[in-house]
Amino acid sequence: MKSETELRSTRADIPDRGLVWLNGQFLDFAAARVSVEDRGFQFGDGVYETIRVYAGTPFAIEQHIERLSRSAAAVELELPMTGGEFAAVVEELIARSGLREAEVYIQVTRGAAPRAHPFPTDVPPTVVMTVRPVRPIPRRFRERGIVVKTFPDERWARCDIKTICLLPNVLAVERARRAGADEALFVRDGLVTEGTSSNVFIVHQGEIVTPPADHRILAGVTRGLILEIARACGYRTHEREIPLPELKAASEVFITSTVKEVLAVIRVDETVIGNGEPGVVFRRLYDVYRSRLPGRGPSLNGEPVEESR
């Protein structure tokens, strides 16, 4: 087994390796340790956020930290830091890592205590923040669109809380990929809810439609930004339920997420969407979205998409 000194000598200041902040300490990934009795490990008792970093700047950090606070309150987990303190650590983490194109992951659990279902008393939460190079999105996804497969939504009834209990999502996306698809969409009682790590939109009779932000979905930060952009571009938007047949009959379908940004869907199960190519509404919205990002400009309608490295 490596000694602690050897582990700490695995330098995190080489950009492609990333960096960890764990309960007040900056560490490399090899040196970071949490207890085997941490409730995140034992019960999935925690909440999280992922923030995209562009040109060294954490994008929409205020919205992400606000949602982290809402998720924590919903599971009765008192955050040990203020929103400003979270933001300050994120900024320093990025600066120390030297990464320009990255993703920051924040996770807060109820802490480490002997395994028992009731909440422990006088136990401090475990706070982990990491930064590492962003997962690259294949250029063909941007240019040609993606394929999705639908699965029954068998998750719990509070999908609006961003908890670390993601096994149904993991199983669905794995089964989708085994079937040759790029993402899985959940369907509950005949209604499309969301993807395993994305929100879903359709274009129906000139209107942009997305499922309502209720307990059945996680209201994504990118989802909110795309709705704002769509309205600013003059599109009519509607947040309502989407039956699966309506989604398959839509002229366009696209998904949104922090890391995926916006991706057109060209096939759902065996049904080709529209003409089987990314549509004009997707292209317009993504182009405007991209222009709002730090260090970015036009993408699909102008310069080629710059993929993360």
Cβ(20)–Cβ(129) under 8 Å? yes
Q: How far is Cα 213 from Cα 255, in angstroms, rounded to an integer?
A: 15
User: What is residue 27's DSSP assignment?
Assistant: E
Element (H, E) at 253: strand 252-257
Q: How far is Cα 111 from Cα 113, in angstroms, rounded to an integer?
A: 7
Cβ(163)–Cβ(126) under 8 Å? no
Q: How far is Cα 109 from Cα 163, in angstroms, rounded to an integer?
A: 10
Of 2, 149, 162, 248, catalytic:
162
Please classify residue 178 by burial: count the beta carbons closer than 10 Å to its beta carbon, then call 0-12 exposed, 13-18 middle and 19+ buried. exposed
Cross-strand pairs, 20: 27, 130
Dihedral of CA 158/162/164/167: which sign? Answer: positive
User: What are the Cα distances from residue 297, in Å, to 145, 149, 255, 291, 306?
Assistant: 20, 32, 21, 4, 10
Residue 76 gets the label, from left (phi > 0), alpha (psi -120 to 50) or beta, of: left
What token pair was written down for 215?
A: 């307990």
Q: How far is Cα 236 from Cα 25, in angstroms, rounded to an integer?
A: 48
Q: How far is Cα 163 from Cα 158, in angstroms, rounded to an integer?
A: 9
Confirm whether 162 is a catalytic residue.
Answer: yes
Cβ count near 25 (within 10 Å): 9
Residue written as tokens 């209720």? 214
Catalytic residues: 162
